[in-house]
Structure 1
Amino acid sequence: MNWSMWSIERVLILFVSLAFLMMSIQVTMFHYRQNFNHKAMWVPVISSPIFFITGIILTLYNAGWLHNLFLVLMWFGVVSGLIGFYFHFRGVGVRVGGWALRNFLIGPPITLPLMYSALSVLGLIAIYWKAW
């Protein structure tokens, strides 16, 4: 493969896809540790591998419908990450002691859903790059 011929958009989509593979592993471990006690925990566990697979296929096969699918999935990732932030922040608050510093340290990681949204935004930047 001649990487010097790849556009920045293509490289960003590849990066975002691989990052979602790593994110998939991380959210699965954290939510498995909590025994999936809330149905919303399944959203990033199921969607992250879908984001990864779609992004890899889009990186290798440039098709309009794949761009549209990736676009929709990335918007879904932004929204679901923000909803996840709400659940994680609320989860810290329901622990004994409320929003004490120790609960932020040992409770649900409030930055992980924000990272999920941030990766999705990076995917959106890659898709919208040529429109600017």
Structure 2
Amino acid sequence: MLPDAARTVLADVRSGRFERSLAALTAVGAAVTTGEIYLSHDAASFGNKMMYWPIVILPAAVPAGVAAVFSRRAARTVLPLASAAIVANGLQGTYLHWRGVRQRPGGVTLYNLESGPPVFAPLLASVVGGMGLLATVLRREGRPPQGDPPRGDG
């Protein structure tokens, strides 16, 4: 038998009411992903100036995600902007990483895929942005904090 809190969470997820939770996960995911990207790009000595872009763009989702937890308005304005920028930057990074592999001697080989820039890592950053975009279209769970206007979807 599940406790009442767990039943409430499951009911919220089943009914598409987990905007606040997904906004919080977006903030945490952006922070962790930024750290990982920084360490990877620092190991490569930030050899290309474009390597700084995700270090600047991804952290924007941290305050946007936190704000979206507390404010319905932030969930509809700031979070989708930050999330869309992250998705775009992840797609750009995927292109740049594939280009980096192709430019290595021998081109796209198994060895170059294993030792070159990680070609799928930027897509993982895009997933964080995608979570933020998904949060913006979901219904809000729980009671809205004071000051938030009620919305028609309950």
Which TM-score band applies after superposition, normalised by the shorter structure?
0.7 to 0.9
Q: SS at the partner of 1:85?
A: helix
In 1, are the aligned partners of 2:34 and 2:58 still within 8 Å (CA)?
yes
Q: Which residue of 1 aligns with 2:108?
A: 99
Which one of 49, 60, 79 corresponds to residue 59 of structure 2? 49
Provide the rounded CA distance (Å) in 2 between the counterparts of 1:9 and 1:63.
Answer: 9
How many residues end up aligned between the 2 structures?
129
Q: Which residue of 1 aligns with 2:147?
A: none
Alpha-carbon deviation of 1:67? 2.9
- String of CA shifts for 1:59-82, please: whole Å, max 9, x gaps: 1x2141453111111111111110
RMSD: 2.1
Give me the identity figure in percent. Answer: 26
Provide the rounded CA distance (Å) in 2 between the counterparts of 1:127 and 1:66.
Answer: 6
Higher-helix-fraction structure: 1
Residues 59-98 of structure 1 mapped to structure 2, 5 A cutoff = 59=69, 61-65=70-74, 67-98=76-107
Structure 1: gaps of 5 or more residues: none
Give the TM-score taking structure 1 as reference length: 0.87
Give the TM-score taking structure 2 as reference length: 0.75
- Call closer, same or farther: CA 1:65–1:13 in 2, change over 3 Å: closer
The AA in structure 2 aligned to 1:13 is A
Shift >4 Å, 4+ stretches: 2-7
Structure 2: gaps of 5 or more residues: 140-152
1:108 is the counterpart of 2:106: no
